[in-house]
DNA sequence: GCAACCTCTGAGCGGGCTCTGAGCCGGCGC
DNA sequence: GCGCCGGCTCAGAGCCCGCTCAGAGGTTGC
C-alpha cells in the first residue's frame, strides 16, 4: 500500500480495478507500476481487441486508454466498452498535437484525458477524480479535500489553505504538495518525487525538487510550525505541525 | 455526480430516465455520456423501431430524438411514442435548415428542439427545462434560477444580474457563464468548457475560451470584486466574490 | 440591402513559471 | 580542526501561458 491512508477501494471493500491499454510496453509498464503502487488491482492490454476481451472478464472500474492504438480508433473502443459496462470510467492518453477532434465532447461525458508526456502524479490524480465523481469509491464522502493538520488542499477547486489562510501555488508547487499530502508521514525520495510530479521524459536533475521544496516552505511553513521536514540523505516528509 | 447540486431525480427519488435516439454512433455516444454524467439513467437506440421497442420496456421520462432517422420520420415516431406514453417529454435534434413549420407544431405541444450542431451544455439545459416544466422532477421549486454570491442567472428568462444590475450577454457568453455557475468552486479546464459550451464539431482552439472569459470578466467583474479566477495551467473557477 | 452584432483568427505583449548555475551553510567524517 | 558532501537559497535567462486588441467573415434583424 502506498499511503497511510487506506488505499482507494470500491464500495464493497475490494481494491479498485484498472485496465491499462497501451501499445508501448515501456510506458504501459510504468503506468501499471504507478497504479499498483496506489494499491489498485491493475491489468494491461496492448491492443483494442485485447482490451475488450480483458474487460469482459476483468470488469474494471476504470480504463486508461491510449487513443492512438494500432488497430482501432479510441472513440469506437469507448463505445464498445460502454456498451457492455455503461459505468466504466475512461482516462484517455493522447499526444499533445494529436488530432483531438476525434475525442470532442469526451470531457462532457465525465471522462477525461491527459496529454503525453504526462506526470504519473497527474495521471493518478485524474483517475482518482474520475472514480470519485463516479461515486465508485468509498471516499465519496470525503470529496476532493486532502487534510493534514491545519493544511487543506481541495483538488477540485484547486484551493490550498493553512489555518484558514488561502495560499496560492504555481502548478508544479501544487502537484508537489498534493503528492506530499497523499503520502503523509512517509518519506519520499527526491527521485520518487521527480517521477511523480515531473513528466516521465523530464531530463533534469533532482536539484529542482530541492528548489520547489524551498518554494513550498516559503509559502506554507514560513512563520509557523514547519510541516515539511527533510530527512538528510533520504528525502522529504510532510507531517502535521506536531502540537 | 457532476455538479455540487444533487442529481436531478424524479419525484419518487429514482434517477430521471432518458432515451437517446440517433443513428450516428459517435454522436449518440457523446450525448449519452453527457446525460449520464448528469446522473440520469440513459439508454440509446439507433433506429426508430429500436427506439419504440426500447421505450416500451424502459419507460423513459424524456426522449432525445433525431428527426432524421434512416427508417422512419421523426414525427411519426413522436406520434407512436405519445400513443403509448402520453406524458413523455421529447427533445428533437434537427438540422439547421430543417422545415421549420413542422417544428413549430411540435414546440406548441410543450416539446422542444435543438439544431445540429449543438453544444452539450445547451442540450442538457434544454432537457432539464423540459423536465422541470413537465413537473417531472424534484427541483420544480428551485426553478430555473442559478445563484452564486450576488450573481444571478435565470435559465428560462435568459436574464443575468449582478448585485441587482442587469447584464446582457451574447448567447455564447451566456452559456459559458451558465456552465461556470453550474460548477461553482470547481476548476473547469478550457477543454471541458469547449466540450460543454461549443458545438461538438467545433474544430477551433482553446484560445476562444480565453477570449470569451475576457468578455465575461468585462461584463461581470469589471469594477467589482472578481468572481472569475484563472488557475494557471489548469482552467477557470467561479467563486463568490471577496473573502 | 444595410447595419449591428456576434464569433472567431491572428498577432503582440506582459508576466509568471520553470529551470540552470553558483555560492553558502551546516553536518559529518577523517 | 579541516574538508567534503548534501541541502538551501538567490539571481537571472528563457519560455510559455494567458490576456487583449484589431479586424475579417458571417449572421440577424430592420
pLDDT digits (tens, 9 = 90+) for B52-95: 999 999 999 999 999 888 888 878 898 899 999 998 999 999 88
A positions 146-165 inside 8 Å of B (CB): 156-158
Lowest-confidence range among A116-125, B137-146, B193-202?
Answer: B137-146
Nearest residue on chain B to A135, alpha-carbon basis: B1
- Mean of pLDDT values over A198-209: 92
Assign B20 a pLDDT band (cuts: 50, 70, 90).
Answer: very high
Question: Which set of grid coordinates corresponds to residue B156?
Answer: 428560462
A positions 59-98 inside 8 Å of B (CB): 75-76, 78-79, 82, 86
Lowest-confidence range among A134-148, B99-113, B152-166, B170-184?
Answer: B99-113
- Mean of pLDDT values over A187-201: 95
- The reply to whether B242 has its C-beta less than 7 Å from any atom of strand C is no
User: What's the pLDDT at A143?
Assistant: 76
User: What's the pLDDT at B5?
Assistant: 45
User: What's the pLDDT at B138?
Assistant: 62
Give me chain A's average pLDDT, please: 90
User: What's the pLDDT at B4?
Assistant: 38
Cα-Cα-Cα-Cα dihedral sign, residues B195, B197, B198, B200: positive
Measure in Å the smallest separation between the Cα of A13 and chain B Cα atoms: 21
Beta-carbon pairs below 8 A across chains A and B: 73
Reduced to 3 states (helix: H, G, I; strand: E, B; else coil), residue B51 is helix
CB contact under 8 A, B29 and A135: no
User: Tell me, in Å, how far CA of B210 is from C1' of D18?
Assistant: 7
Name B residues 191-230 whose Cβ lies under 7 Å from strand C.
Answer: 198, 202-205, 207-208, 211-212
Residue (of B211, B26, B3) closest to B117 by Cα position: B26
| Cis-peptide into B229, omega within 30 deg | no
pLDDT exceeds 60 at position B226: yes
Find which nucleotide's C1' atom is closest to A212's CA.
Answer: C18
pLDDT cut 70: percent of chain B above it: 87
* A101/B contact by beta carbon, under 8 A: yes
* B187/A contact by beta carbon, under 8 A: yes
Q: Which residue has the higher pLDDT, B5 or A7?
A: A7
User: Tell me, in Å, how far CA of A73 is from C1' of C30?
Assistant: 64
Measure in Å the smallest separation between the Cα of B234 and chain A Cα atoms: 8
Measure in Å the smallest separation between the Cα of B238 and chain A Cα atoms: 9
Lowest-confidence range among A3-17, B137-151, B210-224?
Answer: A3-17
- Mean of pLDDT values over B139-148: 77
User: What's the pLDDT at A136?
Assistant: 67
Measure in Å the smallest separation between the Cα of A139 and chain B Cα atoms: 13
Assign A142 a pLDDT band (cuts: 50, 70, 90).
Answer: low
pLDDT exceeds 60 at position A100: no
pLDDT cut 70: percent of chain A above it: 91
User: What's the pLDDT at B203?
Assistant: 86
Nearest residue on chain A to B235, alpha-carbon basis: A158
Give me chain B's average pLDDT, please: 89
pLDDT digits (tens, 9 = 90+) for B97-114: 665 656 666 666 778 889
Number of neighbouring beta carbons within 10 Å of residue B84:
11
Strand order in the sheet with B62-66: B41-45, B17-21, B62-66, B89-95, B112-116
* B2/A contact by beta carbon, under 8 A: yes
Assign B2 a pLDDT band (cuts: 50, 70, 90).
Answer: very low
- Do residues B17 and B41 make contact, with C-beta atoms less than 8 angstroms apart? yes
pLDDT exceeds 80 at position A239: yes
User: What's the pLDDT at A4?
Assistant: 40
Query: What are the DSSP calls for B157-222, one per residue?
Result: TTEEEETTEEE---HHHHHHHHHHHHTTTS-B-HHHHHHHHSBTT----THHHHHHHHHHHHHHTT
pLDDT exceeds 90 at position B45: yes
Amino acid at each position: 500500500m502506498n499511503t497511510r491512508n487506506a488505499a482507494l477501494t470500491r464500495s464493497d471493500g475490494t481494491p479498485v480495478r484498472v485496465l491499462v491499454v497501451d501499445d508501448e510496453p515501456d510506458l504501459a509498464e510504468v503506468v501499471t507500476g504507478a497504479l499498483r503502487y496506489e494499491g489498485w488491482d491493475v491489468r494491461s492490454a496492448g491492443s483494442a481487441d485485447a482490451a475488450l476481451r480483458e474487460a469482459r472478464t476483468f470488469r474494471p472500474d476504470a480504463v486508461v486508454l491510449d487513443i492512438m492504438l494500432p488497430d482501432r480508433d479510441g472513440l469506437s473502443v469507448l463505445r464498445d466498452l460502454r456498451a457492455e459496462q455503461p459505468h466504466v470510467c475512461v482516462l484517455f492518453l493522447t499526444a499533445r498535437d494529436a488530432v483531438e477532434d476525434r475525442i470532442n465532447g469526451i470531457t462532457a461525458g465525465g471522462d477525461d484525458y491527459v496529454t503525453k508526456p504526462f506526470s504519473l502524479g497527474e495521471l493518478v490524480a485524474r483517475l482518482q477524480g474520475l472514480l470519485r465523481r463516479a461515486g465508485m469509491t468509498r471516499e465519496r464522502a470525503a470529496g476532493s479535500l486532502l487534510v493534514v493538520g491545519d493544511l487543506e488542499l481541495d483538488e477540485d477547486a484547486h484551493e490550498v489553505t493553512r489555518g484558514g489562510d488561502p495560499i496560492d501555488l504555481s502548478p508544479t508547487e501544487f502537484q508537489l504538495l498534493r503528492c506530499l499530502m497523499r503520502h503523509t508521514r512517509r518519506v519520499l525520495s527526491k527521485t520518487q518525487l521527480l517521477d511523480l510530479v515531473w513528466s516521465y521524459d523530464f531530463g533534469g536533475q533532482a536539484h529542482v525538487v530541492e528548489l520547489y521544496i524551498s518554494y513550498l516552505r516559503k509559502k506554507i511553513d514560513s512563520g509557523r510550525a514547519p510541516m515539511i521536514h527533510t530527512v538528510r540523505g533520504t528525502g522529504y516528509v510532510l507531517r502535521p505541525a506536531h502540537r
